[in-house]
Amino acid sequence: MAKRATFDIRQQTGFTTVAMICFFLLYLPIVTLVAYAFNDNDSVAIWKGFSLRWFYSAWNNTQVIDASIRSFQIAIAAALIATVAATMAALATTRTKPYKGLTFKYAFINQPLMVPEIVTAVALLVFFSRIKIWTGYSGLGYLIAAHTAFCIPFAYLPIRARLENMDLSLETAAADLYATGWKTFRYVTLPLLWPGILAGLMLAFVVSLDDVVITEFVKSGGQDTLPTYMLGQLRRIVTPEINAISTVFLLLSVAIVTIFFIISRKRT
């Protein structure tokens, strides 16, 4: 059958080409990065052959492993605390007629998104360095606190969105059917809110795991996380070990985002 000349009203000249170039350029560096992770050469520069040696090398590098463990410790703690706090805050700021302080709460909770990270980073450096002197404590607590603060708005976002789409009449119905406040929350609100909480938890986790700037300024000596370790390595001669670490890190992020994507897709 001959193709009929049709006029697609949605089409704009050249847009599809630019979009394709855009997707290509978006993934080209990432693919390059991953490809070089398998390079059997001491420098990244020249391709010598396929090898997994840099993955082994990273696995046997105690600094890398320590930094990874620390990253996870911080991300898990920060994401959990942030999600609980954000869930409570979302419950407190949605599905209500405006009350005094509501706008203030929105502004406050979203503040970490508004201020440039570097500013928050130096502010925390200044503040925590004082506290470190006063208390003598220099553990992971500072990093967890800092991460929790900037994770809260990310966790808050999907939870609030979910809550706002939840019909208040369900809770009213529960109350009508003899459920007290707590029981209504336990049997109706929480199960319905769960996908939002999960999404918030994952976002917070990824955001914490990815952080470089604030961690770089807040960490005490020997408290490198994986990203700050990598940032430090980039100053030196780069070996494909960095590519290998990046590849694993990348896979992890992709996995989490994929789960997030599937959950949010299923529930809507």
Site residues for other proteins, window 163-192 (CB under 8 A)? 167, 169-170, 172-180, 183, 187-188, 191-192
Nearest to 224 by CA among 117, 75, 64: 64
Binders of other proteins in range 10-29 (CB under 8 A):
10-19, 21-23, 25-29
- Long-range pairs, 167-175, Cβ under 8 A, ≥24: 168/95
Between 69 and 119, CB nearer to other proteins: 119
Binders of other proteins in range 200-229 (CB under 8 A):
206, 209-210, 212-213, 217, 227
Instruction: Write the binding mask 107 to 146 for other proteins: x where contact by CB under 8 A, - elsewhere.
Output: -xx-xx-xxxxxxxxxxxxxx-xx--------------xx
Euclidean distance between CA atoms 88 and 189, whole angstroms:
12
Between 2 and 221, CB nearer to other proteins: 221
Per-residue b or e along 31-65, where b marks 16 or more CB atoms closer than 10 Å to that residue's CB: eebbebbbbebeebeeeeeeeeebbeebeebeebe
Between 52 and 88, CB nearer to other proteins: 88
* Least spacing, CB of residue 62 vs other proteins, in Å: 21
Between 2 and 211, CB nearer to other proteins: 211
The answer to whether the beta carbons of residues 72 and 78 sit under 8 Å apart is no
Q: Which of 88, 103, 139, 165 binds other proteins (CB under 8 A)?
A: 88
Euclidean distance between CA atoms 268 and 260, whole angstroms:
13
* Least spacing, CB of residue 133 vs other proteins, in Å: 10
Euclidean distance between CA atoms 247 and 225, whole angstroms:
16
